[in-house]
Structure 1
């Protein structure tokens, strides 16, 4: 029996309302949903569906399962690996855009939890938690548009992992619509629940390939009253690692962020953002951006931070340091870090990497990788920065000045092999926080063991035997 797209769309409109089924045959522009924000991936979609609640998600999934239509779940479409848009090939697909499921269902101050729908924007949750004196610590560049469901589906990282962990560490419960349309209710705000398999973990980081996250219960924390930011110059990555250990020892849980930034990255920011002030007197090959926060007095925390930094300087663990005197100065220091991505976009073509390594092995990795890249790709410009506190580097490689952007992108696999082989040799990961999606799917078999991949496929087969959940992603 042939597939009648018009009949299918009519059934979908009957389920969730005519206005919430977008299709090109009616003149709707679907490109914002079928193309990722980096313009690297775009695939065809029969329609974009915008359900309003879990029941409508279930109804659409049941229709899709009965008719062999694949579903691509989508949040804010801010991912970096193409997981939230259709593949260029594969089964007939629709995009299930979850932005209308955007309610904060409950904030339990005594239990320090929030229950939210998947389409809730991360910044909205941050603000609502702050309004009742609580902190939701997940923080990343796209927080004004990314959605909680997407954060969970990709196990997002961000700048506060040092203290609070990845998204996985912040999730207590989930509501998931399974590939057959059944609703799996795991929305429990419990820190302890030792009753068999922890099923929610299957869906965190699965990039929508096992089911559709429709709601979550997440951890909240007491909002810090004091926050202090410092910016230091160091002579080497090894010195930065020593500084990390010393500052954690001296400040303990108050130490919340530790970002490593190469001198080349800072130079790039200051080139494209010439009004950026220089926090330090001289130039250093490496810089560190640090933050501490707690519930005490601001002056007390600043004194503790300053004392720790001065001790580290005396011990030879840093070369120079600037301590922000107020909130505005702290935000200006963070903008040095946040503007690296924008500066790279303005600079031209670059090949991005999101790798993680044991912190102790990062100095050796960087020391070996810089000359190796220079020899293999003369003129290539590594722009290195990332969350050193949790072992995550964004080891991006900008094109040599004389090479056309398109030509440099053709070198992606070759550059990836040099970097990812070195990461694997040091028992690291080729994806720390961005996921696999379409971008790294072909590389996963090179760096995952056969038994790991086999178990992953068994789980996929058990939950989605027909393969209609976000096909072409991860596996």
Structure 2
């Protein structure tokens, strides 16, 4: 493989092809620190043509390719396998914003552009790109397209799949497919871009995307609300959507143990309310009109909810800085968990009305099997997606508990299955869930997925060991 490394250095430049262990190391471990692999080299192409050349050279050498962006994934999808016979293709140098079309509400960007930069480019033309993630400062376009990322505004705008108009993709044989169409209607056969969205780089390398933009909100109202239980939160969501319609942009559920971790590990975090409650909701309403009356509408509905006993307490942000402080509590839960230590993590979805049943049944079964287990439950109640994680309160007990992951998974995923849900809502499959996917997909679905994989990647060199 030394000849391949020399070829790659010739294609992208010696300084952009890392083959020394110490130089490669930062790109071989996932964000959680759960997976560490090996690779022949880590390569940094600057454009789609260089990606094409690298992929073509790897295909000729029968060498696997692992696409990688900001490396913020949570399932090990961008981490090479331990065998070390692959090339990591990091796209972070591909940072061009090719076009911004305000009239068509579209933006075309390369795979290495960070999400926050896409958001800023939209703002410069008085538009909104609504995808919002805690990792938006470091996650990149290719990554969030390849994992079909969701985030906090799916309730109003949909996940990544609904935000992509077109893609540019380098196929496993090195050919470039230019599907960067900025059309809302294109009824000319199979919608090929959908195959690559959420495929985690197993069918090809996303090198650019044309994304939808929206009118920028002029009025935003943010509130932190205390509720007795998830059932009350679901009722409050229905109430607010009936009153405000699609202006309810985000509706996040947060358990008290989740907030406690943030208050413990994040120095600037402050509890928004004077006393503790078992559950909270972070709600955001937006409108494109300054005179929308959103604040008055929200406060009127919250007043009625308090009078009905559906709401325990709450606070409405009076300034933008207060709103940002409330959002930081939600966005720092994952970071606080990372600082606390390892845990068994689940990213599941069930129908919104089934969320209370899921929380109750899964909680009861876990407590019976593992007395004293700590459950960190939070997520996007508005679209039925919960992050549902377990650990022991004492770090000394966690190693033994992590070894119980298969049994814990069966409890959690069993309840998900009973309620007609999914074992992966927005994080993807990667390495983490590949083994359990076969237990939760119908055989005919798996067969179709394998046929698609074989059609695009007959040699199996695109991100092997992920998804299937």
Same fold (TM over 0.5): yes
TM-superposed deviation, 1:248: 0.8
Q: Which position in structure 2 is the counterpart of 1:63?
A: 57
User: Superposition pairs for residues 114-153 of structure 1, below 5 Å?
Assistant: 114-153=107-146
* Pairing 1:378–2:375 present: no
Q: Which position in structure 2 is the counterpart of 1:470?
A: 463
1:439 to 432, 439, 446: 432
TM-superposed deviation, 1:298: 6.5
Q: Which position in structure 2 is the counterpart of 1:319?
A: 312
* Pairing 1:18–2:14 present: yes
5+ long unaligned stretches in structure 2: none
Given that 2:391 and 2:398 are in contact with CA atoms closer than 8 Å, whether structure 1 keeps it comes out as no
Q: Which position in structure 1 is the counterpart of 2:408?
A: 415
Between 275-284 and 74-83, report the one with greater CA deviation: 275-284
Distance in 2 between residues matched to 1:80 and 1:230, nearest whole Å: 28
TM-superposed deviation, 1:394: 0.6
Between 412-421 and 143-152, report the one with greater CA deviation: 412-421
TM-superposed deviation, 1:411: 1.6
Distance in 1 between residues matched to 2:71 and 2:265, nearest whole Å: 27
- Tell me: CA distance 1:69–1:285, structure 2 relative to 1, closer, same or farther (3 Å): same
User: Superposition pairs for residues 266-285 of structure 1, below 5 Å?
Assistant: 266-273=259-266, 276-285=269-278
RMSD: 1.5
**CA deviation string 1:77-113 (max 9, x = no partner):** 0000001010123x72100010111100000000000
Q: Secondary structure of the equivalent of 2:416? A: helix
Distance in 2 between residues matched to 1:360 and 1:341, nearest whole Å: 25
Q: Which position in structure 2 is the counterpart of 1:222?
A: 215
Q: Which position in structure 1 is the counterpart of 2:80?
A: 86
Between 195-204 and 28-37, report the one with greater CA deviation: 28-37
TM-superposed deviation, 1:403: 4.1
Distance in 2 between residues matched to 1:316 and 1:298, nearest whole Å: 30
Q: Which position in structure 2 is the counterpart of 1:330?
A: 323
Between 308-317 and 13-22, report the one with greater CA deviation: 308-317
Distance in 2 between residues matched to 1:298 and 1:209, nearest whole Å: 48
**CA deviation string 1:39-81 (max 9, x = no partner):** 1111111111111111111111111111100000000000000
Distance in 1 between residues matched to 2:443 and 2:342, nearest whole Å: 34
Distance in 2 between residues matched to 1:35 and 1:164, nearest whole Å: 32
**CA deviation string 1:370-397 (max 9, x = no partner):** 1211110111100111000000001111
Distance in 1 between residues matched to 2:2 and 2:291, nearest whole Å: 62
Q: Secondary structure of the equivalent of 2:118? A: helix
Given that 2:4 and 2:58 are in contact with CA atoms closer than 8 Å, whether structure 1 keeps it comes out as no
Distance in 2 between residues matched to 1:247 and 1:202, nearest whole Å: 35
**CA deviation string 1:296-353 (max 9, x = no partner):** 2278321122122223333433221211111111111112212222322232332111
Distance in 2 between residues matched to 1:67 and 1:32, nearest whole Å: 25
Give the 4+ runs in structure 1 shifted more than 4 A: none
TM-superposed deviation, 1:421: 1.1
Distance in 2 between residues matched to 1:248 and 1:211, nearest whole Å: 39
Between 210-219 and 54-63, report the one with greater CA deviation: 54-63
5+ long unaligned stretches in structure 1: none
Between 61-70 and 260-269, report the one with greater CA deviation: 260-269
* Pairing 1:44–2:38 present: yes
TM-score by length of structure 2 reads 0.97
Between 340-349 and 156-165, report the one with greater CA deviation: 340-349
Q: Secondary structure of the equivalent of 1:473? A: coil
**CA deviation string 1:183-234 (max 9, x = no partner):** 1111011111111100000000000000000110000011111111001111
TM-superposed deviation, 1:151: 0.3
